[in-house]
Structure 1
């Protein structure tokens, strides 16, 4: 049986960031599904929250033909980008801590 991982110094901020990205993503999807003519400022906030990957996804999304774009898919991609960034940051800090403890 494996031991649970410790959160480390970036674990709690990464979890909080992931939760904020999830909450904003759910809010954006609810607005898209319930409001007849949405002005999606929460989607723009999600794009800024997930910068730089969110900005890159947003720019690539503008290049797609209009019939292939679905705003719900865009929101899900932005949420995935935010989670990926949180996971990557926690892995980098974990690797640097492990490396520094081995050199001591």
Structure 2
């Protein structure tokens, strides 16, 4: 049985960032499903929130086949990019703090 990790300040920031990405993504999906002609400013905000991976997803959107160009798929890809960034940053900071603790 493994010991649970302490969350720490970086973990709290990554968790808050992930929650913000989730909230903005769900709001964007609800707007897409309920509004007749949505002007999806929340999708643009999600793209800026998930920068730099979100920007890459946005630019690669034209390369997808026609069947996958549903805006909901774009929002889900942006959410995935944001969660990947949160995970990568928390792992990187954990590794750096572990390394600095070993050298001391």
Question: Do both proteins adopt the same fold according to a TM-score greater than 0.5, normalized to the shorter chain?
Answer: yes
Give the corresponding residue for 1:13.
13
In structure 1, stretches of 5+ residues that fail to align are none
Partner-residue secondary structure (3-state), 1:10 = helix
Report the equivalent of 1:100. Answer: 100
Q: How many residues align?
A: 104
Does the residue aligned with 1:4 lie in a helix, a strand or coil? Answer: coil
The CA deviation at 1:67 is: 4.6
Give the gaps of 5 or more residues in structure 2. Answer: none
Q: What is the aligned partner in structure 1 of residue 57 from structure 2?
A: 57
Task: Tell me the distance in 2 between the aligned counterparts of 1:24 and 1:103.
Answer: 41
Check the 8 A contact 1:14/1:87 in 2, yes or no.
yes
Mapped partners of 1:53, 1:6: distance in 2: 27
RMSD value, Cα: 1.1
Runs of 4+ in 1 over 4 A off after TM superposition: none
Of 93-102 and 6-15, more deviation after overlay is shown by 6-15
Question: TM-score, normalized by length of structure 2?
Answer: 0.94
Check if 1:87 corresponds to 2:87.
yes
Contact persistence 1:8–1:94 (CA under 8 A): no
